[in-house]
A = this chain, B = another copy of it.
């Protein structure tokens, strides 16, 4: 039997990830997090003595680790399959939320008022870029191209999710996916 060290804490972090992705940083208030998670009121500053920033940092850290875990599962695949897997994750987010959700790390980046929180977001993005570059290299892309191609894939995925949310249509997202496949194919041939 596994001991539940702190169930309400993890439920709050989980809810914060979802609320950040849907409504942004300022709208992810303690009141919203408590309602969404069902966690008890009195446990906020017990679990997060440093306040909201600590909760948000934990949330984007979790979101960051989940994306890394997804990437890990794609290691060893052909570069094209790696890209498809990564895009598939974001497509699922758009579909499951009916264009109502995006990336929690991006939401924090564009609204953060605290330098440490912004730096945390930057570290997460950098981790994604580096891990994806490794996977692309393992999938047949040259070492000279993989880092920049990885950054293109992450930047354009993030942007595509925003465009599709705003337009409430998969059209922008799928156009980006199509062009990324062309780019990866060309890079694979060059490699």
Binding site for B on A (CB under 8 A): 23-27, 102, 105-107, 109-111, 113, 118-119, 121-122, 124-126, 129, 147-149, 151-152, 154-160, 162-163, 165-168, 172, 175-176, 178-180, 182-183, 186
Identify A111's interface contact among B107, B152, B160, CB under 8 A.
Answer: B107
A126 in contact with B167 (CB, 8 Å)? yes
Copies of this chain present in the complex amount to: 2
Query: How far in angstroms is the closest Cβ of chain B from A23?
Result: 7
A113 in contact with B23 (CB, 8 Å)? yes
Closest to A103 in B: B110
Q: Beyond the given A110-B162, A158-B162, could you list 6 further A-B residue pairs with CB under 8 A, ordered by the A residue number?
A: A25-B111, A106-B110, A148-B179, A155-B162, A159-B159, A182-B183
